[in-house]
Amino acid sequence: MNRPRDERYLSVMFVCFGNICRSPMAEFVFADMAQKAGLGDRVHAASAATNCEEGRPVHPETLKVLRAHGVRVYPKRSVLLTPDDAERYDLFVGMDEYNIRAMRRILGEGVWDRIVKMGDFTSSPRDIADPWYTGDFDATYADVSECAAVMLQKLFGEEINESKDK
C-alpha cells in the first residue's frame, strides 16, 4: 500500500454499511491508537456509510465496548460517503467486500488504488463482522483493534518505533 500524498499527514475514512457500529468503532480505535503513539497531529480519522439514514448516533453497544477498553469517544452521527470525499481523504478502509464494491461505485475508478479492506492488513485477511447482525460487539472490537494496530504499524512503523525509543 502506498503512503498518503502528503508524507507528513494521513487522512483516513473508515466505511461500513450504516456508520453506527463498525466504521465509527474503527475511527475511534485508530484515532486513539495514533494519539497514544504520538501521531495525533499527523493522523485524521473519520467514518462514513455506504447506505444509511444520516444523523443516526453511534450504536450504544459500540460506545459501551469502546469505553470499556479506554478508547476515547466523541460525539458522532452517521454520514454518507460521497464522491467529494475522494478529494478529502488519502485512504478509504472498508469493513467487508460489500463495502469495498459500494465504495468503488461511489468514489469512482480514480480512487480504487486508495481503497482497502481493513481485515486485509493482517496475516489472516478477513471481513470485519457486523455486530448489528452478530450481536458480538466484543469480537468486532477485537478484530478492529488488531487490524488498526497493524495498519498503524505498516503506515507509520518507523515513526512509532522512534517515539518509543525516546
Residue 14: closest CA among 125, 113, 116, 110: 116
The answer to whether 71 and 137 have CB atoms below 8 angstroms apart is no
Which residue in this structure is represented by grid cell 468503488? 104
Q: How far apart are CA 16 and CA 59, in angstroms?
A: 13
The conformation of residue 114, written as its DSSP 8-state character, comes to: G
For residue 94, CA distances in Å to 39, 41, 69, 115, 149 come to 22, 23, 23, 7, 16
Sequence-ordered list of residues with C-beta below 8 angstroms from that of 41, at least 6 positions apart, any chain:
none
Phi, psi at 34, each rounded to 5°: -65, -45
Residue positions annotated with a catalytic role: 16, 22, 130
- The set of cell numbers assigned to 75 is 460525539
